[in-house]
Amino acid sequence: MTFEEIKNLDEQYVIHAYSRFPVAIDRGQGAVLWDVNGKEYIDFTAGIGVTSLGYADEGWMKAVTEQAAKLSHISNLFYTEPYAKVAQKLCVPTGMSNVMFSNSGAEANEAMIKLARKWSFDQYGKGRGTVITLRNSFHGRTITTLAATGQDKFHDYFFPFTEGFRYADANDIDSLEGVAGHDVCAVMMELIQGEGGVLPLDQEYVHKVADLCEKRDWLLLIDEVQTGIGRTGALFAFQQYDIQPDAVSFAKGIAGGLPFGGVMSGEKCRDVFTPGTHGTTFGGNPIAAAASCYVLDQLDAPFLAQVREKGDYLRAQVEELELPCLGKTRGMGLMIGVEVNEGWTNRELAGRLIESGLLVLTAGPGLRFLPPLTITQEEMDRGLSILKGTLG
């Protein structure tokens, strides 16, 4: 089908919940994509941090197709090998105790919130279900995770929202103490606010929050849906902050392009969910689990060191270009935010870059780069030269 044919079908039959760019992507290889007209693009998006090993990775395809040929799905009423293995691969290197799977980030966060509330109910009884989250955060699109999201623009239309969330300013411990109360059971936050604009929390602040949680017997819940699975140059960003959370959610990059996610629990709440208290039909699907095992096996120390080096390289190169429309860069590893200077909008710049053959994302008022973790030097340089040629 031609682009026009696809677009017309989409316009007629698809609910318009997205403002799309005028490109229909057809296939990919590494960090390069081709649209239906055969035009080539360098990918600095990885489908919003999902295709962590790029496109058509040989080992990933083998893991997926072998599992598909063996067992595509079975309910959570039975054991499967990929499911048990991926749980081990997540818990052992992180010091977390056990894990429950889901299909998306929002569901993983829902499970994490349920875990915190039930833990508190088991310990203290009713009336202690409030979760403090941070302003400018993003935790998902379900009614409850929208309520957890600390941005007013997400709190329209869909009333009534789930109650039991209060918001504090990021990097301000007094603000957090100011909204504390006897009804609080947990603090939930992203270590780098992703959708909010790639805003890393200060190390010192994060340690103060962890201490406060300890003192008040609140759970520390870390949303690593975007930062996790190697994106920041560690398996999880919390390891770079040197904290041990009570629960950690993950999704996006784990299965390298298939829907998968989950919540890992620490020792304190490892036995909170008992049979019947939480569940999912698809969560833990064997194909997605097998893909996740393969992805996690790639993320050894040298691989993660390369993610950090590539991130440093990209940021240094972007800043060195001194483009009139772009300002400073932020982030960790291959989670990179670029400021957009006054007089330009991120949407307009993203549109121009995409038209020139470089896929980029926006976040907050800036641009965001989340390339496949396997992006090569040559692919990065091609992306940078498009950046220079288009915005220079």
Query: What DSSP assignment string belongs to 359-382?
Result: E-EEETTEEEE---TT--HHHHHH
Q: Interface with ligand PLP by CB under 6 A: which range of 72-80, 135-143, 340-348, 384-392?
A: 135-143
How many residues bind ligand PLP (CB under 6 A)? The answer is: 15
Q: Does residue number 150 form part of the binding site for ligand PLP (CB under 6 A)?
A: no
User: Which part of the chain contacts ligand PLP (CB under 6 A), choosing from 70-78, 104-112, 120-128, 295-303?
Assistant: 104-112
Q: Bridge partners of 134?
A: 168
Is position 57 an interface residue for ligand PLP (rule: CB under 6 A)?
Answer: no
> Counting contacts by CB under 6 A, is residue 251 touching ligand PLP?
yes
State the nearest-atom distance from the C-beta of 287 to ligand PLP, in Å: 17
Q: Which residues contact 236 (CB under 8 A, 6 or more apart)?
A: 94, 222, 224, 227, 228, 229, 248, 250
190 vs 379, beta carbon nearer ligand PLP: 190
Under the criterion CB under 6 A, does residue 194 sit at the interface with ligand PLP? Answer: yes
50 touches ligand PLP by CB under 6 A: no
User: Which alpha helices (H) appear in 184-285, and where do they start and end?
Assistant: 203-216, 237-240
* Backbone angles phi and psi of 336, in degrees to 5: -125, 130
Please state the closest distance from residue 107 (CB atom) to ligand PLP, in A.
7
Choose between 32 and 370: whose C-beta lies nearer to ligand PLP: 370
> What are the distances in angstroms from CA 391 to CA 22, 45, 138, 324, 382?
19, 18, 29, 8, 14
Helices 81-91 + 286-298 axis angle, to 10:
40
Nearest one of 305, 318, 306, 302 to 381, comparing CA atoms: 318
Is the four-CA dihedral 99, 101, 104, 109 of positive or negative sign?
Answer: negative
- Counting contacts by CB under 6 A, is residue 331 touching ligand PLP? no
Distances (CA, A) of 4 to 11, 22, 26, 96: 10, 9, 14, 49
Triad 74, 75, 81: Cα angle to 5°: 60
Three-state secondary-structure class, residue 200:
strand
Of the candidate residues 28, 47, 140, 366, the single one contacting ligand PLP (CB under 6 A) = 140
Applying CB under 6 A, which of residues 105, 230, 266, 364 lies at the interface with ligand PLP?
105
104 sits near ligand PLP (criterion: CB under 6 A): yes
Residue 327 three-state SS:
strand
Residue 33 CB, nearest approach to ligand PLP (Å): 20
Q: Can residue 139 be called a binding residue for ligand PLP (CB under 6 A)? A: yes
Task: Using CB under 6 A, pick the residue from 90, 106, 131, 350 that binds ligand PLP.
Answer: 106
**Per-position DSSP letters for 94-139, written without gaps between them:** TT--EEEEESSHHHHHHHHHHHHHHHHHHHH-SS--EEEEEBT---
CB closer to ligand PLP out of 30 and 261? 261
The span of 103-111, 122-130, 214-222, 345-353 binding ligand PLP (CB under 6 A) equals: 103-111
Residues of this chain, 217-236, that bind ligand PLP according to CB under 6 A: 223, 225-226
* Piece of 18-26, 137-145, 168-176, 274-282 that binds ligand PLP (CB under 6 A): 137-145
Q: Which two tokens stand for residue 35?
A: 């649209």
Site string for ligand PLP, 161-190 (x = CB under 6 A): -----------------------------x
CA gap 267, 95 in Å, rounded: 9
Which residues of the shown chain bind ligand PLP in the complex (CB under 6 A)?
104-106, 109, 138-140, 190, 194-195, 223, 225-226, 251-252
